[in-house]
Amino acid sequence: MVSASPSPEQATRRGPLHAGVRVQLAAAALMWLIGASILLVRGTFYLRDEHWALWLLATAAVLGVLKSRILLDRVARKAVARIRQRGRASFFGFFSVKSWAFVVVMMGTGIFLRRSGVHHGVLAVVYLGVGTALALADRIFWSAIVSDDPSS
């Protein structure tokens, strides 16, 4: 008995660099968590010598919550929908090219701000605000991992 060979599409979806939905969701969740952690640690570093630290922290928290609710929650939901729609696919495609470009732009902006001589209080608010927003919106990825079918 001769077994039918898989179609080219099926063969490429089984390659070593391909992953199921849950793995892709976990990769996206970890990426956001790592980014949030880096920003929160750096923001805390810039905050430590500021006399207005409590006010700066409160401002960053408010901005972070707003950024999460207004922008990043929507971005995370779109990423989850994209991953689910793709199904088993290339591991590194868990974010779209546009999303990867956005990551590069955000990293470049952070590097520019650090090197530009911006006051440490401003850096603290920006880093803590964006880190808070990423951490809050990351819940969407973790929730999707838990709610997804384990066989995917």
The pLDDT tens digits for 82-112 are: 999 999 998 888 888 888 898 899 999 999 9
Q: Give domain status of residue 79, yes or no.
A: yes
Q: Is residue 63 part of a domain?
A: yes
Query: What's the CA gap between 61 and 17, in Å, rounded?
Result: 38
- Kindly state whether residue 9 falls inside one of the protein's structural domains: no
Determine, yes or no, domain membership for 100.
Answer: yes
Residue 73 pLDDT exceeds 90: yes
Does residue 121 belong to any structural domain of this protein? Answer: yes
In total, how many domains does the chain have? 1
Strand partners, 55: none
Predicted pLDDT at 141: 97
* Cα angle: 118, vertex 124, 130; to 5 degrees: 110
State the residue range of the domain holding 67: 18-147
